[in-house]
Amino acid sequence: MTRTTKTILTLAILTGLSTAPVLAADACDALTARVIRDTGASLAGRAGPYAVFRAEDAERMSLDCRAPARITVASRDREPSQAYFSLVGRAARALAGADPAAAEVLALNLHQASLLANAPRRGGSGRAVMLCETGPRTGGLREDLTVCRVAPRTGLSRIRRAG
């Protein structure tokens, strides 16, 4: 192998390695912009793969772009207004392309089930999966009484349809 060939290969490898974080940042920028457009929230801050938003119908709303990407929507109310669940539905559309009305109904049903069971509840709607929980918690969300997390559905479902 000639010296010129080695130099070209080295540059190609280094160029490929250096663009990976840039591509990830571009993907997160695009997802952040889609969340803003679909939910009406405004960007409060961005650091690495995380974005934090201001949304009228939630106390907190954040995006974690690491795979699988997920959005957390939190409220200080144990029983938030219908607008909160609508926001969760729009967030599911932004993140996973889910039908916002169906995701809104899912969030409301999971929240109600969580209230009754006093435990987190999971479910899916189209291309989105969701976990909603109520009640006191520890950590960064300790003041929030309702939290719904949305992620895109990945892989095949283990549930098979008859037929």
pLDDT at 154: 84
pLDDT higher for 9 or 69?
Answer: 69
pLDDT at 120: 95
| Bridge partners for 151 per DSSP | 129
Q: Within 13 A of 90's CA, how many CA atoms are on the CB side?
A: 18
pLDDT at 135: 79
Does the pLDDT at position 128 exceed 90?
Answer: yes
pLDDT at 1: 57
- DSSP readout, 67-127? SSPEEEEEES-SS--HHHHHHHHHHHHHHH---HHHHHHHHHHHHHHHHHHTS-EEEEETT
> 80-115: per-residue pLDDT in tens?
999 999 999 999 999 999 999 999 999 999 999 999
pLDDT higher for 24 or 55?
Answer: 55
- For residue 36, how many other CB atoms are within 10 A of its CB? 17
Does the pLDDT at position 37 exceed 80?
Answer: yes
Q: Report pTM.
A: 0.78
Give the confidence band of 158 by pLDDT, cuts at 50, 70, 90. low
Give the confidence band of 21 by pLDDT, cuts at 50, 70, 90. very low
